Amino acid sequence: MKEIITFNPIESDKVVLPIQYNHMVQAMIYRLLDEELADFLHEEGFQNKNRTFKMFTFSRINGRYILKKDDGLIIFDGPIKLTVSSHFDDFSNSIGNSFLKRQRVQLGNNYLEVKQLAVEKENVNSEEIKVRTLSPISTYSTLYRKDGKKFTYYFNPMEEEFSETIENNLKNKYRAFYSEEAPEGEINIKSIGEPRLAVVKYKGFVIKGYTGKFSITGPIPLLQLGIDTGLGSKNSQGFGCVKLI
């Protein structure tokens, strides 16, 4: 389920954020959740073997803006929109109710009025879908250099590992959420047109991902999970949020 929130700045007509603002959106989301639920997601989450999943993702912020690269700032002029998406009903209900009840929320140093909340349920009815990204899809593997040092290699959509990593991620999420084996079948994802590389810093770490439109085939339950919780890795940090087209 997706919740699309429109905010108005309260104290001025601007919303001023660092260009790398993902951690601020994530912090706002956790503050808005019921305390017990926020603690569960932050401390435990849904687990499968040694992997933990939060089962939510969010988009980039949409609105008119200017970049002040020298200052490391992005300045939005007027209303802004944010999409928050989850497969976990308790999460969706908690954050939706919180947005409805609060007269204002804090994002970084900005106080915002919740102008509108729209709820959208995207149902996957086919084993072939098309999506567009609302935030970059990030897939990676940790490899080792000749000297034994680890490094992170980010896959691009032209590499087979891009689909393989997304498939493994969705199957692990399914096992973690439902406590049962994931549906059989491969996930294949192909870009429609030229994907764009996005480089994001999250709490000092560089994360690479890709934006664009994609065609995806696979088992319906896994595709539904991807639409709701995000594709690829680092979803709860604001990566992999997609929308059906």
Q: What range defines the domain where residue 140 resides?
A: 128-244
- The closest alpha carbon to 63, from 76, 75, 53, belongs to 76
Q: Any bridge partners for residue 82, and if so which?
A: 5
pTM value is 0.95
What's the pLDDT tens digit per position in 101-110? 987 999 999 9
Domain boundary among 120, 145, 171: 120
Indicate if 54 and 134 belong to the same structural domain. no
What's the pLDDT tens digit per position in 178-231? 999 999 999 999 999 999 999 999 988 999 999 999 999 999 999 999 999 999
Total count of domains within the chain: 2
Residue 69 pLDDT: 94
Whether the pLDDT of residue 49 is over 90: the answer is: no
Indicate if 112 and 45 belong to the same structural domain. yes
What's the pLDDT tens digit per position in 122-131? 999 999 999 9
Residue 204 pLDDT: 86
Indicate if 99 and 207 belong to the same structural domain. no
Q: CATH number of the domain that 81 lies in?
A: 3.30.70.1890
Residue 148 pLDDT: 84
